[in-house]
Copies of this chain bind each other. A is one copy, B any other.
Amino acid sequence: MAGRTGAKVDQIICTVDVVLLTLKEDQLMVALLKRNREPYKNVLALPGGYIHAEDMDARDAALRVLKDKTGIDTPYLEQLATFSGPARDPRGWSVSIAYYALVSIDVIEKSGHPDVALKSVDQPLNLPFDHKTIVDTAVARLRSKSQYSSLPCYLAGENFTLPQLQRVYEVLMGESLNKVSFRRKMTEMDMLEPVEGAFTSTGAHRPAQLYQLKPEFRRQLTLLERGL
């Protein structure tokens, strides 16, 4: 209440961290990188970095960090939450504005950065700072939003069949879905269009139609009135 000097106010460390998520073999994976500086040098952690004065905002910083450290331009990046406190970083009172990004596994494999390590979010992760909390928050957010939005489509890649997309939703939601209802919902969302040319490579059975997001939905979520 009485006159604070504000002496330490300016010394807060401001960073961004990115939780890059993808789906590999029906498992939700997070992308980690070995840190090339202290603290925690050579330890696997989320891609992150300081905000620069040249960044237009924190989102811009997150896109820059992701591009610089993994080579990836993500089609979907959303602010997750901000994590803060005096103890989360040994360098001092810090703030991390965390974002999460969703890409298909192809995007990571074609990124040309072979040092990106993918770890399943369902197995124990030992991460520095409070990165475990950040990852858990991102996974919870993704799983929650999968209930009533088109978010999982960003994990499915450019082209996908309806059975493949249903599998993505099932992995994220952790339950099997009714095929007829799932297709009714996709029709209701009206965001997919068939790609001419079926998906034949799967074997001795009827091939499935390939779909893609309609252009107007490439970078914009669709929400459902009622879930699933």
Please report A residues at the B interface, Cβ cutoff 8 Å: 1, 4, 6, 8-14, 50-53, 55-58, 68, 79, 81-86, 93, 95, 97, 225-227
Of the residues B4, B51, B56, B93, contact of A9 by C-beta under 8 Å: B51
Are B85 and A82 interface neighbours, CB within 8 A?
Answer: no
Are A56 and B226 interface neighbours, CB within 8 A?
Answer: no
Q: Give, as a whole number of angstroms, the nearest-CB distance from A53 to chain B.
A: 4
Which 7 residue pairs of A and B lie closest in terms of their CB atoms, listed nearest first?
A8-B53, A57-B85, A58-B84, A12-B14, A82-B82, A57-B84, A9-B50
Q: Give, as a whole number of angstroms, the nearest-CB distance from A69 to chain B.
A: 10
Q: Give, as a whole number of angstroms, the nearest-CB distance from A145 to chain B.
A: 12
* With known contacts A79-B81, A95-B95, A56–B12 Cβ distance under 8 A: no
Q: Which partner residue on chain B sits nearest A1 by CB separation?
A: B68
Give the residues in chain B near A97, CB-CB below 8 Å.
Answer: 82, 84, 95
Other than the given A14-B14, A51-B95, 7 more pairs (CB < 8 A) read A10-B10, A10-B13, A12-B12, A12-B14, A56-B86, A58-B82, A95-B97
How many identical subunits does the complex contain? Answer: 2
Are A56 and B82 interface neighbours, CB within 8 A?
Answer: no
Determine the distance from Cα of A97 to Cα of B81 in the docked complex, in whole angstroms: 9
Give the residues in chain B near A52, CB-CB below 8 Å.
Answer: 4, 8-9
Q: Give, as a whole number of angstroms, the nearest-CB distance from A227 to chain B.
A: 6
Determine the distance from Cα of A176 to Cα of B68 in the docked complex, in whole angstroms: 50
Q: Give, as a whole number of angstroms, the nearest-CB distance from A94 to chain B.
A: 10
Give the residues in chain B near A58, CB-CB below 8 Å.
Answer: 82, 84-85, 95
Are A14 and B53 interface neighbours, CB within 8 A?
Answer: no
Are A53 and B86 interface neighbours, CB within 8 A?
Answer: yes
Give the residues in chain B near A57, CB-CB below 8 Å.
Answer: 83-85
Are A95 and B56 interface neighbours, CB within 8 A?
Answer: no
Determine the distance from Cα of A32 to Cα of B226 in the docked complex, in whole angstroms: 35
Determine the distance from Cα of A227 to Cα of B50 in the docked complex, in whole angstroms: 40
Q: Which partner residue on chain B sits nearest A224 by CB separation?
A: B227
Are A53 and B226 interface neighbours, CB within 8 A?
Answer: no
Q: List 22 A-B contacts (CB under 8 A).
A: A4-B52, A8-B53, A10-B10, A10-B13, A11-B53, A12-B51, A14-B14, A14-B95, A53-B86, A53-B93, A56-B85, A57-B84, A58-B82, A58-B84, A58-B85, A58-B95, A79-B81, A79-B82, A82-B82, A82-B97, A84-B97, A225-B227
